[in-house]
């Protein structure tokens, strides 16, 4: 499993200034070695959204002797140093950000005396995408706009671009630019517009950023905010000219197929402007998206075109890497790995994502994220908004909660993900600090994860799989309650909504009851190709369909084949009532291998229904009592199993995790267990009591510490 580092490297006691990251130095590489890092995300060369020559300074700029004294390097040198130790560095492309900073320049306009932070020197002005694209200060850097684009840039109207910043900005209904408010530091003059990737000019510019990053030697390119311009929808956009042109083309194609709502089907689309249509009707946008006229058509358009343009960039990264003689990896920030990102997942090699809300315990979300990754490496970073990160940072700086932080790292590993170690991690636009992990406790976890990597897997070996049905949930997610961190998306309204979300309720309840499960995502049969195939289901004993009101006929056929092959299906609520083959759905519901549950049934009882579908009506793992732990099996490369356990009993007053006495569990295994070893991060010897009878391993840990890894040995090993 990758051991990722969230490597912004922003300064302690200073604001986190996007998009350019602080200079790297050799001590950082030493720290990365101590953390056994394999992967750095958000780690290099972000300044292209200020200007290309500015980013070239990040990559190749000369380092003054005074900074060499303390081991400072440019980013190309830093990448080479990391490569010596097997650490992959990803350049970050802040796709949605377009920046203008206050600046101070010399009277002869040859020196940049201040940028972002002013000292009252020289001439006060601005510097960013606008000035770069206008070659306003051609002597500030070694290259000018025309060096990168000799023929200039031409927009979709056939016009020369005279202001890149204004040209590519996402727009609201009234034509004003949409701000990326989450990165504009409060109380500062800096301005960041959201850019629209549907604009071909912006895609051309992004490709030039990518070229420079690959020229500098990055091992991978991380496309941040990869869902743009869907981000802008939550802020009242995107109604830029290119979105409106392309939306009309999309509508015309569907109109020709007679596949639109009646009002649009009969409308002359030649002059239709969706933003003006909504504005004339005083529509609260995005508001509750299910109540916005034609939002279904607009959102499907944006999803489809977003997917195509994302692939255009990922294909470009790989192709340009091959031109340079290298295989360059691709990653994307899939944020809370919700439905907007499902069509993008096939295009990346590594998923580096940030949680919408970081919590002290969230096993069910890690299981969902693991299912989203579907076997691809994933590293997850924390988010300062809406969760526990500010509180945790204050405590860590005060020398407290180190074991709580270790517990967070180990919980992620237990449930099949990697939680990246923050190294100067982002703290938002109002907190004057950066998130650094406590070094010694973090080293202990990271070094353990490296030593026991052969006992850690992103494949659980669970007997139960829960289906996340994209067509059944993607509009529900948009209308979910924003202040519920488990169900909302970036499009969610701020008011409470009565939205039924059985998928999330079910996997949360399964996690509470320590029931191992996987998640398998299914699509609508159009937007992306899913992995909902019989060969991906045959390893499970039970498939859970949580209120799947929309399924394709092909998916229903797979479910029926799974049942006919001896699998069990638990249906909670509706099955293919709004989309799907009614005949196939009826056969599934009538099948003797199907268990139906009424949504009115309490979730605890629903879990009992799942139990009835399993061998001997027993779960794969069952605990003695209800101890406050997390537990998950891992199927290892050799086919054997390991069981990971985390102890959630962190006591704030004692500032430590309280051991659990006589923590016991039973585990159904495919192979007879002939030996057992319990591993802990401090190599503490634990003399566990165990036996193997009739296909079940019974284990009792006399005093369970913060974490335990139970290695099951068989006669085959």
Between the CA of residue 77 and those of 62, 65, 212, 283, what are the distances in Å?
11, 15, 14, 52
Q: Is residue 605 part of a domain?
A: yes
**Burial group, residue 450, by CB count within 10 angstroms (0-12, 13-18, 19+):** middle
Is it the case that residue 484 has pLDDT exceeding 60? Answer: no
* Range 436-461 average pLDDT: 97
Is it the case that residue 178 has pLDDT exceeding 90? Answer: yes
Task: Please report, for the domain that includes residue 99, its CATH number.
Answer: 3.20.20.80
**Residue 666: which pLDDT band, with cuts at 50, 70 and 90?**
very high
Say yes or no: 44 and 187 in one domain.
yes
* Range 80-93 average pLDDT: 98
Instruction: Tell me how far apart the alpha carbons of residues 475 and 492 are, in angstroms, rounded to a whole number.
Output: 10
Is it the case that residue 148 has pLDDT exceeding 50? Answer: yes
Q: Is residue 689 part of a domain?
A: yes
* Range 134-152 average pLDDT: 97
Please write the tens of the pLDDT for every residue from 56-85: 999 999 999 999 999 999 999 999 999 999
**Burial group, residue 504, by CB count within 10 angstroms (0-12, 13-18, 19+):** buried
Say yes or no: 128 and 148 in one domain.
yes
Say yes or no: 317 and 394 in one domain.
yes
Task: Please report, for the domain that includes residue 672, its CATH number.
Answer: 2.60.40.1180
Question: 379: closest CA among 639, 43, 616, 609?
Answer: 43
Question: How does the average pLDDT of the chain come out, rounded?
Answer: 93
Is it the case that residue 382 has pLDDT exceeding 80? Answer: yes
Instruction: Tell me how far apart the alpha carbons of residues 216 and 542 are, in angstroms, rounded to a whole number.
Output: 49
Say yes or no: 417 and 468 in one domain.
no
Say yes or no: 445 and 495 in one domain.
no
Expressed in angstroms, the distance from the first to the final Cα of the chain is: 22
Say yes or no: 469 and 440 in one domain.
no
Instruction: Tell me how far apart the alpha carbons of residues 628 and 646 are, in angstroms, rounded to a whole number.
Output: 9
Is it the case that residue 488 has pLDDT exceeding 50? Answer: no
**Residue 478: which pLDDT band, with cuts at 50, 70 and 90?**
low
Instruction: Tell me how far apart the alpha carbons of residues 515 and 460 are, in angstroms, rounded to a whole number.
Output: 12
Non-local CB neighbours of 596 within 8 Å, separated by 6+ positions? 571, 589
What is the structure's pLDDT at 485? 42
Residue with more model confidence, 481 or 583: 583
Q: What is the largest CA-CA distance in the chain?
A: 85
* Range 368-396 average pLDDT: 95
Is it the case that residue 483 has pLDDT exceeding 80? Answer: no
Q: Is residue 578 part of a domain?
A: yes
What is the structure's pLDDT at 257? 92
What is the structure's pLDDT at 474? 83
Instruction: Tell me how far apart the alpha carbons of residues 502 and 222 are, in angstroms, rounded to a whole number.
Output: 33
Question: 567: closest CA among 600, 546, 545?
Answer: 545
What is the structure's pLDDT at 717? 54
What is the structure's pLDDT at 605? 62
Instruction: Calculate what percentage of the chain has a pLDDT beyond 90.
Output: 86
Instruction: Tell me how far apart the alpha carbons of residues 243 and 69 are, in angstroms, rounded to a whole number.
Output: 51
Instruction: Tell me how far apart the alpha carbons of residues 531 and 385 are, in angstroms, rounded to a whole number.
Output: 33
C-alpha R_g of the chain: 27
* Range 447-457 average pLDDT: 97
Instruction: Tell me how far apart the alpha carbons of residues 657 and 635 are, in angstroms, rounded to a whole number.
Output: 27
What is the structure's pLDDT at 489? 47
Q: DSSP string covering 170-236, please?
A: -BBTTSPBPB-TTTS-TTS--EEEEB-TTSHHHHHHHHHHHHHHHHTT-SEEEEETTTTTHHHHTTT
The strand pair at 191-194 and 97-105 is best described as antiparallel
Task: Indicate the SS3 state at residue 53.
Answer: helix
**Residue 298: which pLDDT band, with cuts at 50, 70 and 90?**
very high
Domain end marker among 455, 480, 495 = 455
Task: Please report, for the domain that includes residue 474, its CATH number.
Answer: 3.40.50
Q: Which helix (H) or strand (E) holds 317?
A: helix 295-323
* Range 303-315 average pLDDT: 97
- The domain of 561 spans 464-617
Q: Is residue 279 part of a domain?
A: no
Question: 168: closest CA among 207, 132, 129?
Answer: 129
**Burial group, residue 534, by CB count within 10 angstroms (0-12, 13-18, 19+):** middle
Domain end marker among 403, 436, 455 = 455
What is the structure's pLDDT at 121? 96
Non-local CB neighbours of 2 within 8 Å, separated by 6+ positions? 38, 39, 350, 377, 378, 379, 418
Say yes or no: 198 and 71 in one domain.
yes
Say yes or no: 10 and 39 in one domain.
yes
Domain end marker among 588, 617, 646 = 617
Write out the E strands in 629-688: 629-635, 641-647, 650-651, 656-657, 660-668, 673-679
Q: Is residue 629 part of a domain?
A: yes
Say yes or no: 438 and 399 in one domain.
yes
What is the structure's pLDDT at 475? 74
Query: Does 229 sit behind a cis peptide bond, omega within 30 degrees of 0 on the bond before it?
Result: yes
Q: Is residue 118 part of a domain?
A: yes
Q: DSSP string covering 475-527, please?
A: HHHHTS-TT-TTT--TT--SS------HHHHHHHHHHHTT---EEEEE--SSS
Say yes or no: 400 and 484 in one domain.
no
Is it the case that residue 538 has pLDDT exceeding 50? Answer: yes
Is it the case that residue 278 has pLDDT exceeding 80? Answer: yes
Question: 145: closest CA among 120, 123, 127?
Answer: 127
What is the structure's pLDDT at 619? 87
Is it the case that residue 496 has pLDDT exceeding 60? Answer: no
Q: How many residues does the chain have?
A: 717
Say yes or no: 451 and 526 in one domain.
no
Q: Is 654 left (phi over 0), alpha (psi -120 to 50) or beta?
A: alpha
What is the structure's pLDDT at 205? 98
Q: For residue 418, list its beta bridge partners.
A: 379
The structural domain count of the chain equals 3
Q: Is residue 318 part of a domain?
A: yes
Q: Is residue 128 part of a domain?
A: yes
Say yes or no: 415 and 513 in one domain.
no
Question: 164: closest CA among 28, 48, 82, 45?
Answer: 48
**Helices H, strands E: what count in the chain?**
22, 31
**Residue 312: which pLDDT band, with cuts at 50, 70 and 90?**
very high
Between the CA of residue 182 and those of 174, 306, 430, what are the distances in Å?
21, 21, 9
Instruction: Tell me how far apart the alpha carbons of residues 543 and 562 are, in angstroms, rounded to a whole number.
Output: 9
């Amino acid at each position: 499993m990758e051991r990722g580092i969230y490597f912004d490297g922003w300064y302690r006691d200073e604001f986190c200034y996007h998009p350019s990251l602080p200079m790297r130095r050799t001590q950082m590489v030493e720290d990365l070695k101590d953390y056994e890092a394999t992967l750095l995300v958000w780690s290099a060369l972000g300044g292209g959204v200020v200007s290309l020559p500015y980013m070239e300074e990040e990559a190749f700029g000369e380092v003054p002797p005074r900074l060499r004294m303390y081991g400072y390097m440019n980013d190309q040198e830093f990448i080479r140093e990391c490569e010596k130790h097997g650490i992959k560095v990803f350049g970050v492309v802040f796709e949605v950000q377009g920046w203008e900073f206050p600046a101070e320049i010399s009277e002869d306009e040859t020196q940049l005396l201040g940028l972002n932070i002013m000292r009252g020197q020289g001439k006060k002005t601005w510097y960013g995408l606008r000035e770069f694209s206008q070659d306003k200060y051609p002597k500030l850097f070694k290259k000018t706009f025309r060096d990168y684009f000799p023929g200039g840039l031409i927009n979709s109207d056939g016009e020369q671009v005279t202001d890149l910043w204004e040209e590519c900005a996402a727009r609201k209904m009234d034509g004003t630019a949409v701000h990326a408010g989450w990165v504009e530091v409060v109380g500062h003059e800096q301005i960041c517009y959201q850019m629209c990737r549907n604009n071909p000019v912006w895609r051309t510019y992004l490709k030039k950023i990518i070229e420079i990053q690959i020229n500098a030697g990055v091992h991978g390119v991380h496309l941040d905010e990869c869902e743009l311009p869907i981000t802008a929808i939550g802020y009242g956009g995107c109604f830029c000219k290119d979105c409106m042109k392309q939306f009309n083309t999309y509508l015309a194609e569907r109109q020709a197929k007679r596949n639109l709502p009646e009002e649009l089907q009969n409308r002359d689309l030649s002059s239709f402007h969706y933003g003006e249509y909504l504005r004339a009707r005083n529509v609260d946008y995005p508001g509750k998206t299910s109540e916005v006229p034609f939002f279904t058509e607009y959102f499907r358009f944006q999803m489809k075109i977003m997917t195509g343009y994302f692939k255009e960039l990922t294909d470009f990264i790989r192709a340009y890497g091959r031109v340079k003689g290298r295989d360059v990896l691709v990653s994307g920030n899939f944020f809370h790995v919700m439905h907007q990102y499902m069509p993008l997942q096939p295009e990346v090699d590594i998923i580096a994502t940030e949680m919408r809300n970081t919590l002290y315990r969230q096993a069910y979300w890690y299981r969902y994220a693991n299912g989203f990754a579907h076997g691809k490496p994933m590293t997850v970073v924390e988010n300062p908004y809406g969760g526990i990160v500010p509180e945790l940072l204050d405590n860590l700086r005060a020398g407290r909660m180190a074991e709580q932080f270790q517990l967070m790292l180990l919980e992620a590993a237990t449930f099949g993900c990697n939680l990246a170690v923050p190294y100067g991690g982002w703290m938002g636009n109002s907190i004057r600090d950066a998130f650094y992990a406590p070094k010694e406790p973090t080293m202990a976890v990271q070094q353990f994860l490296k030593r026991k990597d052969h006992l850690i897997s992103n494949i659980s070996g669970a007997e139960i799989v829960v289906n996340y049905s994209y067509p059944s949930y993607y509009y529900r997610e948009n209308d979910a309650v924003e202040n519920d961190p488990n169900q909302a998306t970036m499009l969610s309204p701020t008011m409470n909504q009565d939205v039924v979300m059985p998928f999330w309720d079910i996997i949360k309840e399964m996690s509470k009851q320590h029931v191992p499960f996987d998640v398998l995502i299914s699509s609508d049969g159009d937007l992306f190709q899913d992995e909902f195939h019989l060969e991906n289901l045959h390893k499970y004993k039970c498939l859970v369909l949580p209120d799947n009101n929309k399924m394709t006929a092909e998916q229903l056929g797979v479910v029926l084949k799974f049942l006919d092959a001896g699998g069990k299906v638990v249906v909670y609520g509706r099955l293919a009532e709004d989309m799907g083959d009614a005949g196939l759905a009826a056969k599934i519901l009538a099948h003797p291998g199907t268990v139906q549950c009424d949504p009115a049934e309490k979730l605890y009882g629903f879990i009992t229904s799942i139990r009835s579908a399993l061998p001997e009506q027993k779960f794969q793992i069952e605990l003695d009592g209800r101890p406050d732990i997390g537990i998950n099996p891992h199927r290892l490369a050799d086919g054997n199993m390991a069981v990971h356990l985390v102890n959630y009993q962190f006591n704030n007053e004692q500032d430590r995790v309280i051991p659990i006495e006589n923590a016991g569990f039973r585990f159904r295994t495919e192979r007879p267990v002939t030996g057992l070893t319990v591993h802990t991060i401090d190599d503490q010897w634990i003399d566990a009591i165990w036996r193997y009878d009739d296909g079940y391993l019974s284990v009792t840990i006399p005093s369970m510490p913060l974490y335990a890894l139970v290695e099951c040995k068989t006669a085959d090993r």
